[in-house]
Amino acid sequence: MNGSALLNIGIFGVFVAATLVVVIRASRNTKTAADYLAAGRAFTGPQNGIAIAGDYLSAASFLGIAGAIALNGYDGFLYSIGFLVAWLIALLLVAELLRNTGKYTMGDVLSFRMRQRPVRAAAATSTMAVSFFYLLAQMAGAGGLVALLLGITGKLGQAIVIAVVGALMIAYVLIGGMKGTTWVQIIKAVLLIIGAGVMTLWVLGKYGMNLSSLLGAAVDNAPKAGEKLLGPGLAYGKDGTTKLDFLSLALALVLGTAGLPHILMRFYTVPTAKEARRSVVWAIWLIGLFYLFTLVLGYGAAALVGADKISKAPGGPNSAAPLLAEALGGPLLLGLIAAVAFATILAVVAGLTITASASFAHDIYANIIKKGEAEDKDAEVKVARRTAIVIGIVSILGGIAANGQNIAFLVALAFAVAASANLPTILYSLFWKRFNTSGALWSIYGGLAVTITLIVLSPAVSGTPKSMFKDVDFSLFPLSNPGIVSIPVAFLLGYIGTVLSKEDDKEKYAEMEVRALTGVGAEKASVH
């Protein structure tokens, strides 16, 4: 370990200490289930919007997209566009209606007018599946980041760091609950956006604030890609299959966001639907701004660091942004950006853990095992805390096992599952009068099964040198991302399942629709 590694650890240590203080202070007023799982619904729209940006701008989107742009140019930029445009679905169709009809989890909304137990079990299953793939991606990313930033290249050393990151995250969730986790997200989002903003201005400053000159310099420093860096096709333009794969990915990105349980859960932390709307508006502006920064950072890394050095660095493409920081501001800026990247992983993992544990405690324990009769809300919080510990340990072990796996692949998997299993069910549930229990089960389980089957049979898992299993080949499905098939199939299954069942509760739909649109009887903020 060298001097700059110590500096990185030092800066990260300051972040951890500062956020722990905030988390402990935030936990003082955490008493009820609504406090623990939904932060007492007391955050303002802008605060929650910043926290949403914090949840959304994970290590995969900060390090991953900057790296993808540095190496693949324009094709990397396409990711950011899908990730951003996706928010319009959340804004127009989901956020406010969800806030008005639910309490803590996605299952609240999906089961509102259905038979509670089977639909809650299904919603909890897909919440866990999405959160688990997302968690795995973040933890696996931590390993590569450690290698780059602390110079720890041994698998054992990396495993220890993953365990430390996991343990810290469990501490945040146990102590702070949703409120503490939200504050960690807010602090991290502010640091990340300021850090990226400063680097963006710095890079542009080197080229006379002229984007065109920066692009020119990136092309000059990329002998292999050359002019192709500026146009589409470098990563996905090889043949018909890769082009179709790109279309499939683009669909999963744009339809997945509004089905991510850890994002949906954030809408319950504000007092009203109007604040939920304001949160999304803040999130859209911040996320959009951030992706504009990554465009400059990606091409900046191509121009100032060079594709060769980035590919050869430990961590590969993910090292583009940290290496750019080093090229600009030396070890100190590298340390700051590295600490922010660590903080990103920590905060996102904490957000995912609380989502998965909330779903278990609320959907499975309180509503299925206790049949909704658990008047003792303390028990729900206790179960959520215990589940968080279990999920934390599982994700540490999973992260150690998945260390070195392709992060972007795991994240795309989470988006594909969210877009196929969750989004159709949410939209049908909110807007289709006839939709019923059978339809919900068909679209959730069907979407989940189709997505996971196609992924297992994809070239991402077997048959190519880049696959998870290189030596066997059972890749019957040609695309790495299943979205283009699994999303329409899930919508279709939801339709078929619905019309096959006679269940048609018009009164319950009337109640749900009136509540969703007017906010009557919506959960209020708790007063302390």
**Interface with another protein (CB under 8 A):** 74, 77-78, 81-82, 84-85, 87-89, 91-93, 103, 108, 111-113, 115-117, 210-213, 215-216, 219, 227-228, 230-233, 236-237, 243, 246-247, 250, 254, 274, 277, 280-281, 284-285, 288, 291-292, 367, 372-373, 506-508, 510-511, 513-514, 517-521, 523
Closest alpha carbon to 166 in 206, 139, 127, 188:
139
Shortest reach from residue 452's CB to another protein, in Å: 25
Query: Are residues 247 and 484 in contact, defined by beta-carbon separation less than 8 angstroms?
Result: yes
Residue 105 phi, psi dihedral angles, 5° rounding = -130, 170
Cβ 219 vs Cβ 230: under 8 Å? yes
Least distance (Å) from another protein to the CB of residue 254? 6
Between residues 134 and 291, which has the closer beta carbon with respect to another protein? 291
- What phi, psi does 112 have (nearest 5°)? -50, -50
Kindly state the smallest distance separating residue 241's Cβ from another protein, in Å: 12
* Residue pair 130/417 in contact by the 8 Å Cβ criterion: yes
Q: Which is nearer to another protein, 78 or 128 (CB)?
A: 78
Cβ neighbours of 371 (radius 10 Å): 10
Query: Six-digit token pair at 252?
Result: 């999963």
Taking the complex as a whole, the smallest distance from the CB of residue 485 to another protein amounts, in Å, to 16
Helices (H), 418-520: 423-431, 437-456, 483-500, 506-518
- The label of the residue with tokens 């500026």 reads 230
Residue 473 CA to residue 467 CA, distance in Å, equals 9
Give the closest residue to 192 by CA, choosing from 281, 294, 282, 115. 294
What's the closest the beta carbon of residue 94 comes to another protein, in angstroms? Answer: 10
Look up residue 364 and give its DSSP letter: I
Which of residues 157 and 519 has its CB atom nearest to another protein in the complex?
Answer: 519
Q: Distance between CA 112 and CA 124 in Å, rounded?
A: 14
Q: Report which secondary-structure segment, H or E, holds 382.
A: helix 377-402
| Residues found in the chain | 528
Tokens coding 10: 């030092």
Of the pair 69, 444, the CB lying nearest another protein is at 69
CB of 175 to another protein, least distance (A): 27
> Which C-beta is closer to another protein: that of 250 or that of 402?
250
Shortest approach of another protein to residue 3 CB, angstroms? 39
DSSP result, 15-29: HHHHHHHHHHHHHTT
Q: How near is the Cβ of 290 to another protein at its closest, in Å?
A: 11
Backbone φ and ψ for 504, nearest 5 degrees, come out as -155, 85
Q: How far is the CB of 126 from another protein (least distance, A)?
A: 20
Helix 3-27, helix 116-150: angle, nearest 10: 150
Numbers of helices and strands, H then E, in the chain: 23, 0
Nearer to another protein, 21 or 92 (CB): 92
CB burial of 334-358 (b: ≥16 within 10 Å; e: otherwise) equals bbbbbbbbbbbbbbbbbbbbbbbbb
DSSP assigned state of 465: T
- Smallest separation, CB 101 to another protein (Å): 9
Going by the DSSP 8-state scheme, the letter that residue 103 receives in this structure is S
- Complex with another protein: residue 336 or 366, whichever CB lies closer: 366
d(CA 465, CA 376): 54
Pick 471 or 507: Cβ nearer another protein: 507
- Return the number of the residue (22 or 370) whose C-beta is nearest another protein: 370
State the Cα–Cα distance between residues 123 and 425, nearest whole angstrom: 9
- 133 or 293: whose CB is closer to another protein? 293
Local structure of residue 522 (DSSP, 8 states): P
Task: Closer to another protein by CB, 102 or 497: give it.
Answer: 102
CB of 187 to another protein, least distance (A): 25
Q: How far is the CB of 107 from another protein (least distance, A)?
A: 10
Q: Which is nearer to another protein, 82 or 497 (CB)?
A: 82
Provide, rounded to whole angstroms, the least separation between the CB of residue 248 and another protein.
10
Tokens coding 39: 């932060």
Question: How many Cα atoms sit within 13 Å of 113 on the Cβ side?
Answer: 27
Please identify, using beta-carbon distances, which residue of 89 and 145 lies nearer to another protein.
Answer: 89
AA identity, residue 23: V
